[in-house]
Structure 1
């Protein structure tokens, strides 16, 4: 009975080791695959095309992105390898226990077989029964002989089962060791790649420092232009809200604006309120505005990676994608307006109740003001810069006139 309990506990341990570590390892494995995919996207979207003009600052930004993703991958590989090492060590200890248990079991079984052999003749068994003092003792001896035979059979079966457990554990260890070796090779490869990237990074930094004033001036000019465009879009959105509110008030036959509505906030009809609630309920689950792409600039204020003292403000997400890709609506709504920049780039604003999603830097648009839009609908073709060869969508999200961090609203990739 004790041996049976031990065997059950071994099996439970064997299963639990894989389930406890397996869950964490699965998460790390998924993250590793995701980062490998992201590195491929970085190489494809940022480095495959030959640029007409060399811009050291832009190239440095791309290299920094590649190094950042590779560093995350190396960290993930290390974590996965550590978990595998712990798992291998624990399984090796359990394997040693199982082997010792089988050795003891085989010894007991051999002793028992030997003793049984010495008294195995039918005559000795018959004499053992006939020498009983009474019928009750003879019955007890017969039961003992049956139990002894059954016990021998169970011991033999237990040896076979435990031998199979050891074999499976051995196979598992071999597989785990192969996995670990593969991870170590992958880590070495990534470290070699990151060393090459860092050499390129240093060369670019040296180039930039030689013409630092020129690059700084160009950068500050771009930041100033971005602020001007941002202010212009903000004004357009305020005007659009005021215009939409005048129409809503007329439809709802409101003489005065409701007291609960603040300045620069949409007056919502019951249908618009319901849409806004649905939009909010989908926070963190909304689809990306492009089917594939990588974020090259995040939301919010961030220090410039090369020039200390210069702050870059991300009004939304800058997503680089493949040439010819389309921007897609993240939720049901209505086109609030289609704007055009002085360079001819288009920006589609879609209203979702009191939320607005903005799809900027489009070459061609497929929608017009007032169109009803469905989730995933193609909004327009994203512009590809002829100099940098990059196809970049600037995706911005508002609640009324307040900018939101789109990363908190769209699905994590």
Structure 2
């Protein structure tokens, strides 16, 4: 076997091993993050387990816990599939290395036999002196030297192949043990998931018996949501109108200056709708930067999990509409700006406070704050503290509500936040 082929085999083994390590590490990090989120929800559920009054927040938290458990099982499945592929690759590598080792040893044995038959100095000298001319004698001398060097190289390759073979066999055994452990974890997670789904069914039955109370809670929630939406839309509309007036005034001033110079150039039209929020170079860059960070924005809290998602949801016979996401977090958690911008509004919502931050044409909204550490017109940076989350005194839950708007259109925050 040529040295080039041996090198290519080693390179393939190294590259596939590196790719597997990277993918495996990503899956492990994902699984650990899911485990932390599940544990946080479990602790929160334990705090309110003795609360006789069942609330929508508790049901949402239970649903989120089940969703995270299913995601964890799915991640374990991905780990098992990855290990299956690696076991298959390592098995093929072991067979390939074993085949190479046999060929290398066979070639080496032939070289040793040849060297043994021609080991005396007399034979070597006769081989050289039997040359027809000086040029042939020189070539024969170089051949003997190269043959010796090649034999030593072959011995080194045999040793390296043996070491690599031993390493791959150990790695294969480790993969098989890891797969066995993952399958055990998967079975435990499935059992726990079954228990959580049974508990979910019990709680939903309990909730259906309290439909009157549930509808009252839902009605209150819808009123609060409608009030928040009106406040957000009014604040955004004021921003748009203020920008439109500034842009119109600037256009009129530019037209007047041009007329004074005798320039008949028509005034630049003012952008319509929310596009006016990106009319200046600074705001246009802010809009572009915010758009460019889609899928990688930091979370508004250091630790948290989404317990109610964006859009319409049904619980029993009732439905709710969410223009953002509800993130359950630790009591007293600090709320942070997910992107740099300017505080557009700080609104008192009764028992809590809401903050709106403008990022060019985009707005981020942070609701259910107990305290606030910024003021209207203040410029903030990414991850700058805005205040702390309020805890619901009735059920002990701690949730921050996050919304992202592009002009007057609400967006799904999950698509913008880092995974």
Question: TM-score, with normalisation over the residues of structure 2?
Answer: 0.81
Residues 121 and 190 of structure 1: CA distance in aligned 2, closer, same or farther (over 3 Å): same
Shift of 1:401: 2.8
**Structure 1: which 5+ runs fail to align?**
none
Give the aligned partner of residue 188 of structure 2.
189
Conserved 8 A contact 1:129-1:138: yes
Residues 297 and 359 of structure 1: CA distance in aligned 2, closer, same or farther (over 3 Å): same
Residues 251 and 377 of structure 1: CA distance in aligned 2, closer, same or farther (over 3 Å): farther
Give the aligned partner of residue 406 of structure 2.
399
Give the aligned partner of residue 197 of structure 2.
198
Give the whole-Å Cα distance in 1 for the aligned partners of 2:59 and 2:276.
Answer: 42
Deviations 1:55-109 (A, max 9, x none): 1654333222111111111111111211211211222122123223323432443
Give the aligned partner of residue 225 of structure 1.
223
Give the whole-Å Cα distance in 2 for the aligned partners of 1:156 and 1:267.
Answer: 73
Give the aligned partner of residue 73 of structure 1.
72
Residues 79 and 376 of structure 1: CA distance in aligned 2, closer, same or farther (over 3 Å): closer
Residues 253 and 368 of structure 1: CA distance in aligned 2, closer, same or farther (over 3 Å): farther
Residues 361 and 265 of structure 1: CA distance in aligned 2, closer, same or farther (over 3 Å): farther
Give the whole-Å Cα distance in 1 for the aligned partners of 2:101 and 2:283.
Answer: 72
Trace 1:171-190 onto structure 2 (pairs within 5 A): 171-190=170-189
Give the whole-Å Cα distance in 1 for the aligned partners of 2:238 and 2:335.
Answer: 22
Conserved 8 A contact 1:249-1:267: no
Residues 265 and 227 of structure 1: CA distance in aligned 2, closer, same or farther (over 3 Å): farther
Deviations 1:252-295 (A, max 9, x none): 5969xx96354688677735555445444444443322222211
Aligned CA-pair RMSD: 3.6
SS in 2 for 1:25: helix
Give the aligned partner of residue 315 of structure 1.
323
Trace 1:114-153 onto structure 2 (pairs within 5 A): 114=113, 116-123=115-122, 125=124, 132=130, 134=132, 145-153=144-152
Give the aligned partner of residue 55 of structure 1.
54
Give the whole-Å Cα distance in 2 for the aligned partners of 1:381 and 1:199.
Answer: 35
SS in 2 for 1:237: helix
Give the whole-Å Cα distance in 1 for the aligned partners of 2:277 and 2:137.
Answer: 99
Residues 253 and 173 of structure 1: CA distance in aligned 2, closer, same or farther (over 3 Å): closer
Give the aligned partner of residue 335 of structure 2.
327
Give the aligned partner of residue 40 of structure 2.
41
Give the aligned partner of residue 92 of structure 1.
91
Name which of 382, 390, 398 aligns with 1:383: 390
Larger mean Cα displacement after TM superposition, 172-181 or 107-116:
107-116
Larger mean Cα displacement after TM superposition, 237-246 or 389-398:
237-246
Deviations 1:310-347 (A, max 9, x none): 43211112111111122223334443333223x43222
Deviations 1:368-388 (A, max 9, x none): 334444433322222101122
Residues 110 and 40 of structure 1: CA distance in aligned 2, closer, same or farther (over 3 Å): same
Matched, 1:288 2:296: no
Give the whole-Å Cα distance in 2 for the aligned partners of 1:332 and 1:15.
Answer: 42
SS in 2 for 1:7: helix
Larger mean Cα displacement after TM superposition, 232-241 or 30-39:
232-241
Give the whole-Å Cα distance in 2 for the aligned partners of 1:293 and 1:11.
Answer: 44
**Structure 2: which 5+ runs fail to align?**
254-267
Conserved 8 A contact 2:207-2:214: no
Conserved 8 A contact 1:361-1:394: yes
Larger mean Cα displacement after TM superposition, 69-78 or 20-29:
20-29
Conserved 8 A contact 2:366-2:401: yes
Question: TM-score, with normalisation over the residues of structure 1?
Answer: 0.82
